[in-house]
Structure 1
Amino acid sequence: MNFVKRAAFSLGARRGKTSLLLGILLVVCTLLLGGFLLRDTTTRQEAEAQRRIGVDVTVRGAKLTSHAVDTLGSSPVVQRYNPVLRGVSKPPGLPLVTSNLPKPGRPEGDSDRGQDGLAVNGIRDSGMLLDFSTGRSTIVAGRGLTSQDNARKVVLVSRRLAAKNHLKVGGTVPLASPDGRHTDSFTVAGVYEDSRQDPPQWVAPSELSANQVYAPAAALSALGFGTRPDEAVFKIRSPEQARQLHTEAARLLGTDGFRFDINDKAYRDQVLPLQRVGTFTTALVWLITLSGAVILTLIVTMTIRDRRDELGMLLALGEKKWKLIGQHTVEVAAVLLPALALAALAGQSLAHHAGTMLLVREQHSVTAGQNPADQNPTVSDIRMDIGDLGKVAAIGLGIALVATAVPGIGILRLHPRSILTDTE
């Protein structure tokens, strides 16, 4: 009888130990598959979070010019950038949104309302502004401003200012130069709504969020607002890339001619927990592999010791030693197949629940002190393909080989007569 048939009969005759072996292999395969799925998923989510969130770097300085901003923006580490040019415009004939409270020091009704102007902001990409990226301001009509609007005379106005002046998307609004000598018409590209409430005390119209107007920086420069942005915001993938951007900024602006601020809070809140879960999962896969090999080696060793008489008789009958090792390997490999099939059913669910719990723990440690109601982390988009099953099958087969070869070497070094007469 060949060793493959003997392996089949042996598994059927020893149902208890076969079930024990199946249970252990099922646990090992399920944990391995869950670990691989979780690691691959966190890697994908980390890459997506880096692309979507990134890190904001704000550069300020007297030497900061539009040309310097464009040069830094062309750096390979920069995904998007946004120069911010601020000023006040007092266009004639454009009523402003004003505070309903009296101006301090003046009788009510004599508050000099309307004497201030619009707060104009020259930008490149409205989506990079903090108010819009956090959802505090949202586009309710039309569209936001993008780099495609670079030199176009278009503006983004608030809903309250648009309502006060009966402005709609496609309409025009006048903007004046800082000295008031020049006026130009800008087309309304979009209308936004700001969720912030007005201050509880009187403020000048230009300080009200309703009077914030956004236009392309190049168009405002042409109107006379200058070519030196107040600041520039650059979005990069990770904090590690900030050092390279800082080096380039120092080369352009001088070592002490600028201020370099890194805002990586959103990155730390969402990307770092994913990185920690991925690192933990990688270590867990190695631990499971080693533990599984050790446990199976011990079980196979005990099984072989219980079958010493069988081994002795087979060797006495002239059976090759490698066939005996092959028989035990086939037995473990045969049990591995149903264990792998069952693990495929449970691994995906295990990866989802375990990953979510780990991510909650890691994100809680990163965002300690914040409102937990604002955090709803989850590991989603878990995909299982034939490659994942192949890796688990390969590791399982490797464990089976180690678990049978290591104890088999010690037994098969003995003479058949020694095996039959040794009672240890």
Structure 2
Amino acid sequence: MNFVKRAGLSLIARTGKSALLLGIFLVVCTLLLGGFMLQGAVARQEAGAQRKIGVDVTVRGDKLTADAAAKLGASPLVERYNLVLGGTSRAPGLKLLQPDAPRPPESRSQDDGPGLTGLCESEMLLDFATGHTKLVDGRPITARDADHKVVLIDKQLAEKNGLKVGDKIKLTSPDGKGQASYDVVGIFQAPREGGGGLWRKPAELPANQIYAPLAALAPLSMGDKLGEAVFKLSSPEKARVLHAEAKRQLGGDGFRFDVNDKAFREQVQPLRKVGAFAGVFVWLIAGAGTVILGLIVTLTIRERRDELGMLLSLGEKKWKLIGQHTVEVAAVAVPAVAVAALAGAAFGPDAGAKVLTAPDTAAQPGPPTAQLPPPEMRMQSGDLGKVAGLGLGISLVSTVIPGIGILRLHPRSILTDSE
């Protein structure tokens, strides 16, 4: 009789053992599928963190001009960039906040003016990005404002001058020759700093800072020497490549290249730990399933010694006996994989929401772009293929290794053995 047919008849005759094997395989395949789905969810979550958070690279140096920084920002490695130009302007008719400490005799009041910062995107500034400075009215400055004369001003400065979103303010160059009018599009609240008993120029006070698009400062003759340029990248690995490009464009010396990947590491490291745990979990389940099924097959072989001896005495080949046990176990593995797939599709999303909870960014200072998308645990054809492959591999290993003992059997010793 064909050994495959014998395997089918044996499964039908031993329904109890078949049900036990099916139950074990179902648990193993479900856990394996859950592990692969968890790995996939972690990979998608990490990719989302790279896109949303990324790393900030800050470049400073004497050779850093707007044109040089723009060329570096045109690199395909860079997702967004912000050029920052700092200086002091004059604002006729604008009442500035004054330091608490008395003015020193050598200071001249006619030199007082607000601090003026030209930029591309206000939300990429460190204080805005970390939430230390918050927009309380209006909107931020974006790359679309490059050709518009708009500004952000502090809440205290706005209150002192009776300004609101939509009003205009006039700024002039330090020498008074250039001037332009700017629309207030946003009002922010900067952290309040104590003076420490020392006098500071009004332009150095956070409440007297004014932000405007870099191109809009051309009438004020601010120059093109940047204070810094900030580049947003998707991963720390790309920062090393950008560093090499900065060396080629700006020269080997004369500039600083600082990488701030703290937010990226804080979000990604826990995800990588979960992914590593999922990988270890998969192999532990595969190993444990192999051992358990191997023990069951070993016990089954011992219980069926008389059957094996009879078949050997009738001339059946030993490899066919091993093949019969392998087919029996594999035949149970196939429906177990199918049921595990149904369970994964039904319960995977709910389980993923509990296992992979997105970091609580609501309590952490940061921009909305730093919040990760909710984790998604879904079954893919590749995961199911891995489970099927591992399931068949487990059935093969768990039967072949115990089946080595069949190769050492002799019909006469089996049939005459009183045990």
* Letter matched to residue 220 of structure 2: L
Q: Distance in 1 between matches of 2:24 and 2:279?
A: 21
Secondary structure at 1:191's aligned position in 2?
A: strand
Q: 1:179 aligns with which of 159, 171, 175?
A: 175
Q: Distance in 2 between matches of 1:296 and 1:289?
A: 11
* Paired residues of 2:8 and 2:328 also in contact (CA < 8 A): no
Q: Given the alignment of the two structures, is residue 305 of structure 1 paired with residue 308 of structure 2, yes or no?
A: no
Q: Which residue of 1 aligns with 2:368?
A: none
Q: Which residue of 1 aligns with 2:132?
A: 136
Q: Distance in 1 between matches of 2:406 and 2:111?
A: 99
Q: Which residue of 2 aligns with 1:72?
A: 72
Secondary structure at 1:56's aligned position in 2?
A: strand
Q: Given the alignment of the two structures, is residue 86 of structure 1 paired with residue 86 of structure 2, yes or no?
A: yes
* Letter matched to residue 394 of structure 1: G
Name the TM-score, length of structure 1 as normaliser: 0.82
Q: Distance in 2 between matches of 1:374 and 1:10?
A: 63
* Letter matched to residue 187 of structure 1: D
Q: 1:188 aligns with which of 184, 199, 213?
A: 184
Distance 1:254 1:387, change over 3 A: closer
Secondary structure at 1:225's aligned position in 2?
A: coil
Residue pairs, 1:357-396, within 5 angstroms: 380-385=375-380, 387-396=382-391
Structure 1: runs of 5+ lacking an equivalent: 361-372
Question: Displacement of 1:261 after TM fit?
Answer: 1.3
Q: Distance in 1 between matches of 2:354 and 2:119?
A: 43
* Paired residues of 2:330 and 2:392 also in contact (CA < 8 A): yes
Q: Distance in 2 between matches of 1:139 and 1:213?
A: 13
* Paired residues of 1:137 and 1:193 also in contact (CA < 8 A): yes
* Letter matched to residue 223 of structure 2: G
Q: 1:341 aligns with which of 322, 339, 342?
A: 339
User: Aligned Cα RMSD in Å?
Assistant: 3.5
Distance 1:180 1:81, change over 3 A: same
Question: Displacement of 1:164 after TM fit?
Answer: 2.8
Q: Distance in 1 between matches of 2:417 and 2:25?
A: 31
* Paired residues of 2:25 and 2:336 also in contact (CA < 8 A): no
Residue pairs, 1:20-419, within 5 angstroms: 21-22=21-22, 24-99=24-99, 101-103=100-102, 116-194=112-190, 196-201=191-196, 203-316=200-313, 324-325=321-322, 327-333=324-330, 335-336=332-333, 337-338=335-336, 341=339, 344=344, 380-385=375-380, 387-411=382-406, 414-419=409-414
Partner deviation per Cα, 1:264-303 (whole Å, 9 max, x = no partner): 2112212233234323433442343244324422331222
Question: Displacement of 1:11 after TM fit?
Answer: 3.7
Q: Distance in 2 between matches of 1:217 and 1:377?
A: 30
Q: Distance in 1 between matches of 2:347 and 2:298?
A: 29
Q: Which residue of 2 aligns with 1:364?
A: none
Secondary structure at 1:388's aligned position in 2?
A: helix
Distance 1:98 1:383, change over 3 A: farther
Question: Displacement of 1:379 after TM fit?
Answer: 8.3
* Paired residues of 2:43 and 2:275 also in contact (CA < 8 A): yes
Partner deviation per Cα, 1:217-257 (whole Å, 9 max, x = no partner): 12213420001101111111222222211111111111112
Partner deviation per Cα, 1:350-399 (whole Å, 9 max, x = no partner): 6666666xx99xxxxxxxxxxxx969999833223454344323311221
Question: Displacement of 1:114 after TM fit?
Answer: 9.0
* Letter matched to residue 113 of structure 2: G
* Paired residues of 1:312 and 1:417 also in contact (CA < 8 A): yes
Question: Displacement of 1:84 after TM fit?
Answer: 0.7
* Paired residues of 1:3 and 1:326 also in contact (CA < 8 A): no
Secondary structure at 1:242's aligned position in 2?
A: helix
Q: Distance in 2 between matches of 1:28 and 1:332?
A: 13
Question: Displacement of 1:341 after TM fit?
Answer: 3.2
Secondary structure at 1:156's aligned position in 2?
A: strand
Q: 2:10 aligns with which of 7, 10, 13?
A: 7
* Paired residues of 2:151 and 2:185 also in contact (CA < 8 A): yes
Q: How many residues align?
A: 402
Distance 1:93 1:379, change over 3 A: closer
* Letter matched to residue 297 of structure 1: G
* Letter matched to residue 40 of structure 1: G
* Letter matched to residue 182 of structure 2: F
* Letter matched to residue 384 of structure 1: M
Distance 1:135 1:316, change over 3 A: same
User: Which segment is superposed worse, 373-382 or 406-415?
Assistant: 373-382
Distance 1:293 1:300, change over 3 A: same
Distance 1:115 1:11, change over 3 A: farther
Secondary structure at 2:252's aligned position in 1?
A: coil
Q: Distance in 1 between matches of 2:224 and 2:46?
A: 38
* Paired residues of 2:180 and 2:219 also in contact (CA < 8 A): no
Secondary structure at 2:225's aligned position in 1?
A: coil
* Paired residues of 2:352 and 2:376 also in contact (CA < 8 A): no
Secondary structure at 1:78's aligned position in 2?
A: coil
Distance 1:421 1:208, change over 3 A: farther
